[in-house]
């Protein structure tokens, strides 16, 4: 079973503007509201692909009730911990050229009791053989090592973990105290973008080539991570595993909104893993799902038919380690 965990979900309000101008009035059009948060987006994409998952996390207040109502309206199975603080609402504005401006609230305050309730719930789902997707920002009240603790808890109870986070939360999770056991306690799979990967190695201000990026991915594999999915925006992605590194050029698409593209990549990967697809099939599906997400409005996932159309355009090229 795939379980998506969104610690800081949101109601995502997406709108369009001709030109986003600071310090003046901007009139919005085509306003839509979706259940948001990275894990929720992953569950929605898994459903669009024809799979099943269980979405969980924290939800509170009137916004939390609307969030759960919209999740249920999409036909997604869910089981959230109810909290006293109010779920956030985020505003995402897309201009006529597809440029995205995001205005995200910090999120609710999570108490120690509420976090303990979530840990108990996650273990109650059963861990052995399940895949947990931990993704997104951390709400107030939770320390930067929260994902590190959850990775250790779930991995040591037999689960696989896909972590999609950034900053200190990602850095700490990749420096687990149990890393000496070669991976036990570390996330199995991660999906940084270029900036997030470079920041892990204090190289975010440096010019880098594909070869350097590939080498950095290999260093993470050496720590015990099983898969590094490096998203490169319009340039495509790199997928690094012990068997090799695959280059996937970006697809020629007309971008409506890049919101949820990375989440769709994660969803397609875990869906492919659960279905027993081959590595290259999983990587190709991830690229097609990510491209499809860029062509839809808001955080709505692309249809399976659209993903299958983009799948025909995906090109995979294996990079030989010796050339790095």
Give the catalytic positions in this structure: 263
DSSP state of 234: G
- The strand pairing partners of 237, in sequence order, are 231, 248
Burial class, 150, CB count within 10 angstroms (exposed 0-12 / middle 13-18 / buried 19+): buried
Q: Report the distance separating Cα 100 and Cα 193, nearest Å.
A: 17
Q: φ and ψ at 255, to 5 degrees?
A: -75, 125
In the numeric block, the tokens 């050229």 are attached to: 97
Question: Which one, of 216, 240, 210, 237, lies nearest residue 226 by Cα?
Answer: 240
Report the SS3 class of residue 54: strand
216 with 290: CB under 8 angstroms?
A: no
Q: Tell me how far CA of residue 265 lies from CA of 83, 156, 233, 275, 314, in angstroms.
A: 30, 26, 12, 15, 13
Which residue from 11, 207, 212, 16 is spatially nearest to 107, judged by alpha carbons? 11
Q: Which two tokens stand for residue 282?
A: 């999983």
* DSSP summary character for residue 255: -
Contact 226, 232 (CB under 8 A): no
């Amino acid at each position: 079973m795939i379980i998506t965990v969104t610690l800081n979900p949101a109601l995502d309000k997406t709108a369009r503007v001709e030109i986003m101008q600071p310090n003046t009035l901007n009139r919005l059009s085509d306003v839509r509201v979706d259940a948001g948060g990275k894990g929720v987006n992953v569950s929605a994409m898994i459903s669009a692909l024809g799979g099943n998952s269980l979405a969980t996390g924290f939800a509170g207040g009137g916004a939390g009730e609307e969030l759960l109502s919209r999740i249920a309206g999409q036909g997604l199975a869910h089981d959230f911990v109810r909290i006293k603080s109010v779920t956030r609402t985020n505003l995402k504005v897309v201009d006529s050229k597809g440029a995205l401006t995001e205005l995200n609230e910090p999120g609710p305050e999570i108490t120690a009791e509420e976090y303990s309730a979530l840990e108990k719930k996650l273990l109650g789902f059963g861990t052995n053989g399940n895949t947990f997707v931990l993704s997104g920002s951390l709400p107030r009240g939770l320390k930067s090592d929260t994902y590190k603790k959850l990775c250790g808890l779930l991995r040591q109870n037999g689960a696989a973990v896909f972590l999609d986070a950034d900053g200190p939360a990602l850095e700490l999770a990749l420096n687990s105290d149990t890393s000496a056991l070669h991976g036990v306690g570390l996330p199995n799979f991660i999906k940084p973008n270029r900036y997030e990967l470079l920041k892990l190695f204090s190289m975010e201000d440096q010019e880098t080539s594909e070869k350097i990026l590939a080498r950095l991915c290999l260093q993470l594999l050496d720590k015990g991570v099983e898969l590094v999915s490096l998203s490169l925006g319009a340039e495509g992605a790199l997928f690094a595993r012990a068997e090799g590194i695959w280059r996937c050029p970006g697809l020629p698409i007309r971008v409506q909104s890049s919101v949820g593209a990375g989440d769709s990549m994660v969803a397609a990967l875990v869906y492919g893993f659960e279905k027993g697809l081959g590595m290259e099939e999983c990587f190709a599906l991830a690229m097609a799902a990510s491209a499809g997400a860029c062509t839809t409005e808001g955080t709505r996932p692309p249809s399976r038919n659209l993903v299958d159309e983009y799948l025909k355009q995906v090109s995979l090229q294996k990079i030989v380690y010796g050339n790095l």
